[in-house]
Amino acid sequence: MGSSANKLVVAMVGLPASGKSTVAAKLRQCLEAEGVTVGLFNNGDVRRSMCQGQDTSCASFYAPDNAEGAALRENFARVNMERAAAFLESGGEVAVLDATNVSEKRRRTILEKLGRWPVFFLECVNRDPELQAASIARKAQLPEFAHMDTKEAQDCFRERIRYYERIRAPLDGGVENFVVLNTLDNSIERERVQAVLPHYRLVRDLLVSDWVRNLYLARHGETFHNLENRIGGDSDLTAKGLVQAQSLAWHFRETPLPYVFTSTRKRTLQMAELLCRGREDCLVIPLPELDEIDAGVCENMTYAEIARDMPEVHEERTRDKYGYVYPRGEGYATLRERVERGVRKALYLSGNAENIMIVGHQAVNRTILSHFLYRRTEDVPHIYIPQDRYFHIVSTPSRKVFELVKFG
């Protein structure tokens, strides 16, 4: 049995679609990798189990003035707390309560029921409207919304969020130990920890660290612009590029790929279309943050044309390829912020998926790799990005993997 000194209750807090369940799952995986016994207790699972045959997906079930619904929700919470207590009493070390827990009343109940052990509240916030919309769209595809059309399910979920916003209270009142986490940026916005909490140093490090289980980073196949040595644009894949796309798809034929992220450019979308063809569960999500570097006035030009017609551009870029910014365009230095945002969006939207793929571009993939490889800025524009290989990246607190794999 685990020592009582190692026992901890982690109570998730946050509105629906704020990333709570993803963070909770990461906590469990991270702690279990360190030999800690972790139990994950999700109120939604209890609701679905205890209310089979009842429609608890409609927004009115979550209305604060729905006395019957409120009583049922409190019962679900109590059941989960009792299960968490039994888990800790029988040798478990960390119990994670995965629920909204946004009201002061609910948090007082948690402290009353489980306060014999240290309790740590972890609030997840997501203020990005685009990401919230994408999260709602994903939630609306859950089986409990199968009897609704897409718009009805999404509207229902938004109304559920509004109901929770009405009872939401800040963590400051009556809570001794808490962290408020921005789940997009992996940044801690507020923190108050007044007790010595078991496992806290490990948990805190996880919250602000990259968490990538298996990221496959590929570049689009050969394009007509590649043949002509032109930069930028929106060229199609050549016949060779289509063969490379098919080779990538064949290489991953037995690997589940629930999410494939691309830029908005045709060449990456064509790669993704072949990659996901014939798969039932493979969602392609184009992100403009992953578009290739904007060459401004030099878009669609060849490097030879730039050297001939814009010698000052050619010379300045040759002197500082990383810091140079194309006129009315971008450079590696200005590209980094939007690409890192794109990667964070991809990781957020994929939840805790075992495998995800990004099909990107040369400069974009160099920027992504530099984040994980910590390369010197002056070396980033020279990272090798072939079109017949992909990078496999694992980055968790307990495991780091980086390998270049040939698929052609």
Closest CA to 147 of 248, 53, 18: 53
Pairwise CA distance, residues 152 & 195, whole Å: 45
Find the catalytic residue in 80, 101, 182, 226. Answer: 226
Can you list the positions of beta strands (E) in 145-250?
177-182, 187-193, 212-219
Closest CA to 130 of 288, 282, 280, 250: 288
Angle at 31 between CA 28 and CA 35, to 5 degrees: 125
Pairwise CA distance, residues 22 & 352, whole Å: 6
Largest CA distance in the chain: 76
Helix, strand, coil shares of the chain, percent, nearest 5, are: 45, 20, 35
Catalytic annotation present for 267: yes
Pairwise CA distance, residues 330 & 257, whole Å: 32
Catalytic annotation present for 220: yes
Find the catalytic residue in 28, 160, 219, 317. Answer: 219
Residue 207 CB contacts under 8 Å (≥ 6 apart), including other chains: 23, 122, 179, 181, 186, 188
Q: How many CB atoms lie within 10 A of CB 1?
A: 9
Closest CA to 15 of 209, 159, 210: 159
Torsion of CA 298, 299, 300, 302, to 10 degrees: 30
Pairwise CA distance, residues 389 & 248, whole Å: 8
Catalytic annotation present for 292: yes
Pairwise CA distance, residues 331 & 329, whole Å: 7
Tell me the one-letter amino acid at 33. A
Find the catalytic residue in 106, 107, 160, 220. Answer: 220
Which element (helix H / strand E) includes 154?
A: helix 150-167
Find the catalytic residue in 230, 292, 317, 336. Answer: 292
Residue 162 corresponds to which tokens in the numbers above? 């509004």
Find the catalytic residue in 106, 267, 317, 338. Answer: 267
Give me the active site residues, please. 219-220, 226, 267, 292, 361
